[in-house]
Amino acid sequence: MFVTKTISEIRNIVNANKKTGKKIGFVPTMGYLHEGHCSLITKAREENDFVTVSIFVNPTQFGPNEDFAVYPKDFEKDKQLCLKAGTDLIFYPSIEELYPSTPFTHIDVEKLTNIMCGVFRPGHFRGVATIVCKLFNIIQPDRAYFGEKDAQQLAVIQRMVEDLNFPIDIVPVPTVRDKDGVAMSSRNSYLSRKERQAASVLIKSLVLAKKMIETGERTADAIHRAMKEFIDKEPMANLEYISITTKEGLQPIQKLSGYILIALAIKIGNTRLIDNMSFNIKLL
Ligand code: AMP
């Protein structure tokens, strides 16, 4: 496994592999890797001949009062996990390598970025779409892997790739959860033991929604109300939003039908946590 910090070197290595007909899989991350990230790398390994993982805490996707300065890092552990999951090349650039000067150009995936998490994190998805676009241009992979845990991010990237004709397949990967159902996240490391226990309110509220849907509930308002009441009972959790939308296009819905997404965000102390579940109503 190679590690490179420069754009010129990663371009050379990837190009040399492409020339021999190898398919390139790419997994963008912010590091502090866990089993969730590893499942993306494992899938990339299964489906491609050469797997590259980027580790970059992208400053432009953090708001001024967010956790950029304290975002957890452990490059040595990340390297071990990358190796174990089958990575060929880690791209580990500095901020200066990717942003040598203040950029004038940004990617705004309108309509998908001013809803849900975008309301609470203005500019976040612009930062995400722009860095992913840059990484796609640098690495030029055949396939790129994104976790369903970040459902809105996935929708934004899928739309960007469609709108801008990137010749890249976006592959969604299911959410990996801890034993108690809490979605794995680098940010879980911020939680105290009590806060970590309280974090299970996210998955429990989604399971409540699932049970309501399975027993015939089809009204978004009723599900929203029940989830909110449930979350409000957890004193450590502050609800930011619950959204019930179409899975594709993230359009709000009243009556549940077809493929739908239920997504939510809460804050526990200063830690912001998100989760979601999707359903094919026809199958229920
Ligand atoms: P991050 O390092 O948090 O930016 O995440 C990098 C990639 O890993 C994104 O595509 C995430 O959606 C994905 N990811 C993060 N946590 C999980 C998880 N628990 N299960 C599956 N994918 C995840």
Ligand 1 site, residue 176, Cβ cutoff 6 A: yes
Average pLDDT for the chain: 97
3-state secondary structure of 207: helix
Nearest Cα residue to atom 10 of ligand 1? 146
Ligand 1 site, residue 127, Cβ cutoff 6 A: no
DSSP state of 237: E
Nearest Cα residue to atom 12 of ligand 1? 147
Structure pTM? 0.98
| pLDDT at residue 22, as a whole number | 98
Residue 38 Cα to ligand 1 middle (Å): 9
Whole-angstrom Cα Rg for the chain = 19
pLDDT band at residue 275 under the 50/70/90 scheme: very high
Per residue in 171-217, pLDDT (tens digit) is 999 999 999 999 999 999 999 999 999 999 999 999 999 999 999 99
Contact 51/86 with Cβ under 8 angstroms? Answer: yes
> Which residues is 183 bridged to in the sheet?
177
Q: Determine which one of 34, 37, 106, 124 is catalytic.
A: 37
**Which is the closest atom of ligand 1 to the Cα of 32?**
2
Nearest Cα residue to atom 14 of ligand 1? 147
Per residue in 215-236, pLDDT (tens digit) is 999 999 999 999 999 999 999 9
Contact 142/102 with Cβ under 8 angstroms? Answer: no
**Which is the closest atom of ligand 1 to the Cα of 148?**
12
pLDDT band at residue 283 under the 50/70/90 scheme: confident
Active site residue 37: yes
Ligand 1 site, residue 237, Cβ cutoff 6 A: no
Q: Is the pLDDT of residue 282 over 90?
A: no
Contact 24/48 with Cβ under 8 angstroms? Answer: yes
**Which is the closest atom of ligand 1 to the Cα of 174?**
21
**Which is the closest atom of ligand 1 to the Cα of 187?**
3
Ligand 1 site, residue 186, Cβ cutoff 6 A: yes
Per residue in 130-182, pLDDT (tens digit) is 999 999 999 999 999 999 999 999 999 999 999 999 999 999 999 999 999 99
| pLDDT at residue 123, as a whole number | 97
Q: Cα(272)–Cα(270) distance, rounded to whole angstroms?
A: 6
Nearest Cα residue to atom 17 of ligand 1? 36
Q: What is the DSSP track for 30-86? A: -SS--HHHHHHHHHHHHH-SEEEEEE---GGGS-TTSSGGG----HHHHHHHHHHHT
- For the segment 4-23, the average pLDDT, to the nearest whole number, is 98
Nearest Cα residue to atom 7 of ligand 1? 29
